[in-house]
């Protein structure tokens, strides 16, 4: 009984919902059927059916005949008849304005068309009718003259056009091809950037990998403090080792030397450090025979050498690209590409060093925390935790304060630094007070949740909207489109990838862990082999999506074919727009086919 | 009695959903013994084996392996314990898309330099050793095949080769023959027996079929509902004991 009432209610609610839907979407059947609308529809559909892609060279025949409007007193002067067989136009020699006359033509090219114009003394063309010649090259038209009067002769002019030779690309066709290529490459770059970033990030958003990552509060607090310090140190080292601006760094020979010699030095030093541990690994327990202090110094030298080598490589690419560009003629873009890669590498070294610095210091802080928890008495541990918790809370709050200060341009340190730090410290200490000193905190799940939230938020903002910000940043054009699509791709792929990681078989992971492997080895040996096929397949699929997206991202300033399409639509140039729509359809369906074929291969 | 290699005291595991998989399980395994663990599905056999190398975190109790306390070991100590305990699984747990050789070499991960292993580099000595182990289980010619190209019995032999790469002092076998037909099952059990008798490796093996237990095990541990119901030689399982372990409705076959 209640179920039946519920069903009736559900149907009523559904009716109301759809009725309101009709109302707000302004469903209007009258507009659908109105004759003027249908005419417009027919016009646009016909234009779309004739894409402006190919065109012919056209030959134009012009035949003129004078006509007096109105008839002069004493009759019109005689007209010399045309040569026999030459195209000729026949009409009364004179007529009244707005009267209807018969115009006929002879010896025109058969089956051609064009306008029949009336030319008053001002020289402007007024179209009277369209000419369609029959198989014999003749036509007869009945036309109404315009209300233009003059004493001298006015003219009837028949213009017929004929296609000659082979069809060739129209200007619009050539532009369309150039832009669709630009579009495909936009999609390629965006997918590459997105994939490169999404692969490492996806592991942080995989629940099955992150769930088991836990650490005690001491480690967490130490890590929180260590991250900004490590990032700052990394940045400092990278900046101080950058040679840009010095005379020496502008020499190609110097940079070649750096690229060749520094890796050799690094290799030698690495062997020096690793040789003894490798030998002892089989007997169990690492017994480093080098003094720890010496190892530390050598490790620092290696890091410095690696950074220098990175800079040398970047500058070398930049210099090579720039100096090759003038000699490459048509392939100058290759030189530009080298220089660009060098420039990007040079820019990336500092942030990478900051990331590595943060990562290394964080991992040491984590280990230190673990050791503290194992060695220290519970009472002392509690005190240490209170202090570290307060420090970590203050650091977090100060960082958040700095971000807010930047966004809202607050300049009062009391508001953005002192008070937040104090509150953070109190909150941190409170958390430390409430948490048992050796309890394992679910750090992994926290990172997982944060990563998932960020990805979902980024994914929910369409690339079409992101491109607005990027177009302001780097200017309207394909580069803005690449950045917007790239960012959206990172979020979307990271989520898809991480779901793949979550769905892999857990057996092999368990088996690899059981051999005594560490977490990283487990990922390399048990996780990565399982996710290669789905990762390839998703990357292909994403390229497919990006091609589709990049065709319309130009509507919002992202360059590519969408930009052209939008222009033509706004100019009501539907035949040109039709060519672009056609190009998009062809490329998208080709990509569809290609990506599915390649995906099938990968699995 | 030889010195025990494994001592388990009051081992209890309560899962997050409240299931008490193990309750106060206590026993010791002497070095070199072939011990079978029997019991119905869900009686806690897998949980027990996985608690020993802490693939599953025990809730309470202590585990001593080679006089090292496994339950309180930190990350590094735990990995040292794990690398001396080989493990063989019911579903083999090979990485399907990797070559057989890589699967076997993975058994060495606890020993090698982590940095080298991340780029899939193993020393020539390790590769030789892996080939020897494959030869021992009769699969040397399959080294370069993908693991999923092998039959079930062959995959389990690869699993044994991987465990042997660890130079184990003990092997935990979790229903190693449950997914194989009876003929293949004896083949796999004979490899385990050979490793136990020739190399002196202690074997702790959960089994479904009593006839396999009688044929291969020195000693039987029986679990029911997470409790240790029986601990003794296989011959001592009489009809009364059988009912106690498998329940009243169970029928004894063979």
Name the average pLDDT for chain B.
90
**pLDDT, position A283:** 45
Which run of H or E residues covers position A170?
A: none
Give the closest of B79, B96, B116 to A516, CB-based.
B79
**pLDDT, position A279:** 45
Give the closest of B55, B91, B96 to A514, CB-based.
B55
**Mean pLDDT (10-residue bins), chain A, 603 residues:** 90 94 86 86 90 85 86 77 79 86 87 87 87 87 86 87 84 90 91 92 90 87 92 90 70 83 88 61 50 82 88 88 83 86 88 92 89 84 89 92 89 84 92 84 91 92 90 91 93 93 92 92 92 88 88 86 90 92 91 83 70
Which of the residues A517, A530, A531, A536 would you substitute to probe the B interface, choosing the one with the greatest number of B C-beta atoms within 10 Å?
A517
Q: Is B252 touching A (CB cutoff 8 A)?
A: no
Distance from CA of B21 to the nearest CA of A (A): 19
Cα R_g (chain B), whole angstroms: 18
User: Would the pLDDT of B107 be above 90?
Assistant: yes
Alpha-carbon gap, residue A441 to A214, rounded angstroms:
5
Average pLDDT over residues B103-124: 87
Q: Is B176 touching A (CB cutoff 8 A)?
A: no
Distance from CA of B230 to the nearest CA of A (A): 28
Distance from CA of A543 to the nearest CA of B (A): 25
Q: Is A208 touching B (CB cutoff 8 A)?
A: no
Instruction: State whether the Cα torsion A276-A281-A283-A288 is positive or negative.
Output: positive
CB A217 within 8 A of CB A385: yes
Alpha-carbon gap, residue A65 to A171, rounded angstroms:
35
**Reading across the β-sheet that carries A113-119, which strands appear in turn?**
A54-67, A154-169, A113-119, A126-132
**pLDDT, position A329:** 78
Provide the 8-state DSSP code for A145. Answer: P
Chain-centroid distance of CA A368 in Å reads 43
CA-closest candidate to residue A434, choices A389, A489, A497, A470: A389
> pLDDT higher for B109 or B114?
B109
Partners of residue A518 in chain B, C-beta under 8 Å = 75, 79, 114
Alpha-carbon gap, residue A356 to A230, rounded angstroms:
8
Instruction: Say what the pTM is.
Output: 0.76
Which run of H or E residues covers position A58?
A: strand A54-67
Partners of residue B113 in chain A, C-beta under 8 Å = 274, 277-278, 281
B174 - beta bridge partners? B206
Partners of residue B80 in chain A, C-beta under 8 Å = 284-285, 516
Partners of residue B83 in chain A, C-beta under 8 Å = 515-516
CB B67 within 8 A of CB B84: no
pLDDT band of B253, cuts 50, 70, 90: low
Q: Is A508 touching B (CB cutoff 8 A)?
A: yes
Provide the 8-state DSSP code for A68. Answer: B
Chain-centroid distance of CA A27 in Å reads 35
* Six token digits for residue A146: 């315009």
Contact A529 B107 (CB under 8 A): no
Q: First vs last Cα of chain A: how many Å apart?
A: 53
Distance from CA of A285 to the nearest CA of B (A): 9
Nearest CA in chain B to A506: B93
* Six token digits for residue A103: 């115009």
Alpha-carbon gap, residue A286 to A539, rounded angstroms:
41
B35 - beta bridge partners? B204, B219
Which of the residues B56, B59, B89, B95 would you substitute to probe the A interface, choosing the one with the greatest number of A C-beta atoms within 10 Å?
B95
Partners of residue A274 in chain B, C-beta under 8 Å = 113, 115
Nearest CA in chain A to B122: A278
- Residue that has been written with the tokens 């065709």 in this structure: A551
CA-closest candidate to residue B239, choices B231, B229, B250: B250
**pLDDT, position B53:** 92
Full DSSP string of A410-466: ---HIIIIIHHHHHHHHHHHHHHHHS-TTPEE-HHHHHHHHHHHHHHHHHHS-HHHH
- Cα–Cα distances (Å) from B68 to A191, A278, A282, in that order, read 51, 25, 20
**pLDDT, position A290:** 67
Residue B10: phi and psi, rounded to 5, are 50, 40
Nearest CA in chain B to A375: B74
Which run of H or E residues covers position A161?
A: strand A154-169
**pLDDT, position A600:** 80
**pLDDT, position A544:** 86
ipTM: 0.93
Show Cβ contacts of residue A179 under 8 Å, excluding neighbours closer than 6 positions. Answer: A560, A561, A563, A564, A580
Please state whether A206 falls in left (phi above 0), alpha (psi between -120 and 50) or beta: beta
Cis peptide before A465 (omega within 30 of 0): no
pLDDT band of B2, cuts 50, 70, 90: low
Give the closest of B80, B93, B95 to A516, CB-based.
B80
Size of interface A-B (CB pairs under 8 A): 102
Q: Is A266 touching B (CB cutoff 8 A)?
A: no
For residue A150, the SS3 value is coil
CA-closest candidate to residue A63, choices A40, A99, A89: A89
Q: Is B124 touching A (CB cutoff 8 A)?
A: no
Partners of residue A505 in chain B, C-beta under 8 Å = 93
Per-state percent for chain B, helix, strand, coil, to nearest 5: 40, 25, 35
Q: Is A375 touching B (CB cutoff 8 A)?
A: no
């Amino acid at each position: 009984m209640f179920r039946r009432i519920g069903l009736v209610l559900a149907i009523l609610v559904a009716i109301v919902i759809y009725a309101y839907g009709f109302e707000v979407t302004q469903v209007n059947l009258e507009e659908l059927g109105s004759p003027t609308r249908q005419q417009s529809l027919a016009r646009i559909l016909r234009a779309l059916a004739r894409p402006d892609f190919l065109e012919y060279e056209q030959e134009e025949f012009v035949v003129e005949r004078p006509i007096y409007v109105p008839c002069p007193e004493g009759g019109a002067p005689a007209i010399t008849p045309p040569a026999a067989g030459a195209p000729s136009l026949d009409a009364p020699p004179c007529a009244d304005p707005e009267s209807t006359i018969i115009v006929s033509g002879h010896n025109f090219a058969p089956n051609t068309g064009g306008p029949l114009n009336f030319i008053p003394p001002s020289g402007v063309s007024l179209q009277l009718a369209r000419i369609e010649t029959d198989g014999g090259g003749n036509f007869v038209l009945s036309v109404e003259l315009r209300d233009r009067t003059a004493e001298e002769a006015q003219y009837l002019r028949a213009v017929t056009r004929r296609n000659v030779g082979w069809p060739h690309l129209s200007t619009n066709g050539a532009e369309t091809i150039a832009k669709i290529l630009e579009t495909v490459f936009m999609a390629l770059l965006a997918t590459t950037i997105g994939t490169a970033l999404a692969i490492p990030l996806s592991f942080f958003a995989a629940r099955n990998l992150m769930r088991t990552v836990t650490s005690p509060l001491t480690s967490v607090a130490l890590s929180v403090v260590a991250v900004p310090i490590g990032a700052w140190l990394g940045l400092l080292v990278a900046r101080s080792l950058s040679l840009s601006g010095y005379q020496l760094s502008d020499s190609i020979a110097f940079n070649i030397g750096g690229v060749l010699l520094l890796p050799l030095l690094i290799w030698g030093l690495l062997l020096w450090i690793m040789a003894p541990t490798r030998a002892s690994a089989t007997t169990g327990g690492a017994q480093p025979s080098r003094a720890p202090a010496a190892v530390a110094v050598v490790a620092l030298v290696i890091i410095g050498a690696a950074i220098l080598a990175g800079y040398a490589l970047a500058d070398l690419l930049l210099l090579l690209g720039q100096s090759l560009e003038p000699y490459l003629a048509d392939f100058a873009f290759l030189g530009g590409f080298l220089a660009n890669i060098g420039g990007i590498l040079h820019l990336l070294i500092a942030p990478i060093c900051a990331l590595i610095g943060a990562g290394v210091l964080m991992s040491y802080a984590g280990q230190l925390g673990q050791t503290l928890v194992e060695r220290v008495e519970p009472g002392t541990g509690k005190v240490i935790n209170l202090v570290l918790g307060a420090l970590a809370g203050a650091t977090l709050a100060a960082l958040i304060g700095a971000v807010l200060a930047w966004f809202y341009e607050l300049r009062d340190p009391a508001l953005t630094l002192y008070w937040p730090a104090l509150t953070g410290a109190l909150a941190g200490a409170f958390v430390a007070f409430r948490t048992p000193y050796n309890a394992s905190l679910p750090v992994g799940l926290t990172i997982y949740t944060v990563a998932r939230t960020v990805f979902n938020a980024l994914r929910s903002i369409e690339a079409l909207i992101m491109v607005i910000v990027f177009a302001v940043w780097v200017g309207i054009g394909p580069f803005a489109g690449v950045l917007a699509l790239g960012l959206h791709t990172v979020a979307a792929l990271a989520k898809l990838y991480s779901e793949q990681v979550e769905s892999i078989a857990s057996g092999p992971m368990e088996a690899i862990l059981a051999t005594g492997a560490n977490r990283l080895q487990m990922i390399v040996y048990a996780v990565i082999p399982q996710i290669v096929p789905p990762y390839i397949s998703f990357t292909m699929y994403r390229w497919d999506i990006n091609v589709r997206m990049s065709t319309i991202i130009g509507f919002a300033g992202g360059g590519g074919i969408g930009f052209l399409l939008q222009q033509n639509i706004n100019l009501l140039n539907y035949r040109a727009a039709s060519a672009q729509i056609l190009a998009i359809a062809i490329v998208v369906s080709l990509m569809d086919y290609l990506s599915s074929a390649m995906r099938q291969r990968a699995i | 009695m030889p010195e025990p290699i494994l001592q388990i005291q009051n081992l209890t595991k309560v899962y997050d959903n409240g299931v008490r998989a193990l309750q106060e399980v206590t026993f010791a395994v002497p070095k070199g013994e072939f011990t079978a663990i029997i019991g119905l599905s869900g009686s806690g056999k897998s949980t027990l084996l996985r608690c020993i190398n802490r693939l599953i975190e025990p809730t309470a109790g202590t585990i001593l392996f080679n006089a090292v306390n496994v339950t309180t070991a930190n990350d590094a100590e735990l990995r040292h314990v794990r690398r001396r305990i080989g493990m063989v699984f019911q579903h083999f747990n090979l990485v399907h898309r990797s070559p057989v050789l890589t699967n076997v070499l993975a058994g060495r991960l606890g020993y090698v330099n982590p940095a080298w292993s991340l780029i899939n580099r193993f020393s020539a000595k390790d590769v030789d050793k892996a080939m020897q182990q494959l030869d021992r289980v009769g699969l040397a010619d399959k080294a370069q095949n993908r693991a999923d190209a092998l039959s079930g019995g062959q995959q389990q032999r690869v699993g044994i080769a991987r465990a042997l790469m660890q130079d184990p002092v003990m092997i935990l076998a979790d229903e190693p023959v449950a997914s194989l037909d009876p003929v293949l099952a004896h083949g796999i059990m004979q490899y385990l027996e050979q490793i136990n008798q020739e190399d002196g490796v202690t074997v702790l093996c959960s089994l479904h079929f009593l006839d396999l237990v009688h044929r291969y095990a020195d000693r039987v541990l029986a679990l029911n509902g997470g409790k240790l119901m029986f601990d003794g030689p296989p011959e001592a399982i009489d009809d009364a004991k059988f009912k106690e372990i498998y329940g009243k409705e169970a029928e004894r076959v063979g």
